[in-house]
A and B are shown apart, each in its own frame.
Chain A
């Protein structure tokens, strides 16, 4: 392949490595294009230095506080459409961590999952021993299937380095942390249906995230 000055835009727009190589070769014999290329590279070299990092210890607590305040207002309590209920959880979990995920979980009222149905049919907020055992057995098998999915996704997640993959990794870490916290709380009170609903919702969010991630990595 041979490139000329007219190929500048296509070559430097990326996506055509062969054309770029040909343009580089052309630039060896063209002062104008050589200057363009040199300037191009200098900007590319400098660009990552524009990325800013600084600590904001007050930012996330402030957001959590405002979210908590909003969740107390009648308008904020109005639940979103059913199929969109997971969206705030995904966003919050990815960015705020356990507290925000908890907020969503609080808003979530379950679904068609058999485990949820079981809980929904339990009128008493405190589960009886038998019911708790049944729930724990069902939960165990659900968790095992998610962990299986998690093991499948792990190598893909480790290999991916795009910002989206990093976001997924961060979100999964947050969800795992929320799961650990909820499990610890449930150990203190295994009959608490609210905590179990929260745990299930976080697990479902993890499952969706893993599925989304697998789809993202494939595409």
Chain B
């Protein structure tokens, strides 16, 4: 949960705040739970709404926290023993240019490993819509990466 929050908010501190707030909302808002969804998709939906609320608030704040510094980003890299991917930073930057639902679909399916059915539940859309959102997210990412020079127009960096 912290991971997706950090990818949306760009800061570990903000991500932890969002997770904390989401958990309190879960506690307070049990009556809003719809039995049709699983608990985890419901939790993620609350977390994502919280993250986007945070994002809106921080954009409004003049003294918004600085984005995650490079050393912090590096420290937050996956601790899987595998080397960092050279495109990671470029994709993280490009993700910020995506429309919120496209970005969320990408983070849920491609980064967090949710199926389209699960992502659809979280996003409150059907499986097909989740596929379409992911497709558009990837197309837009590709364009942004080409524009930033991370990809060559032919698709090879």
Residue positions of A touching B, CB distance < 8 A: 9, 12-15, 31, 34-40, 42-54, 56, 59, 62-63, 66-67, 70, 76, 80-81, 84-85, 87-88, 90-92, 94-96, 162-164, 167-168, 212, 216
Contacts and interface: CB of A to CB of B under 8 A. Distances in A.
Given A47-B106, A59-B16, A39 B145 contact: yes
Contacts of A38: 154-156
B153 interface: yes
Contacts of A48: 78, 110-111, 113
A153 to B, nearest CB: 15
B28 A84 contact: no
Interface of B: 1-3, 6-7, 12, 15-16, 19-20, 23-24, 26-28, 30-31, 33, 38-43, 75-79, 82, 84-88, 91-92, 95, 106-107, 110-116, 118, 131-132, 134-135, 138, 141-142, 145-146, 151, 153-157
The SS class assigned to the A binding surface is helix
Contacts of B132: 13
Nearest to B121: A164
B123 to A, nearest CB: 15
Contact of B114 (A44, A67, A96, A163): A163
Nearest to A209: B39
A9 B139 CA distance: 10
Contacts of B15: 52
A43 B16 contact: no
Contacts of A95: 1, 23, 43
Contact of A9 (B85, B91, B112, B135): B135
Contacts of A91: 23, 26-27, 30, 39, 42-43
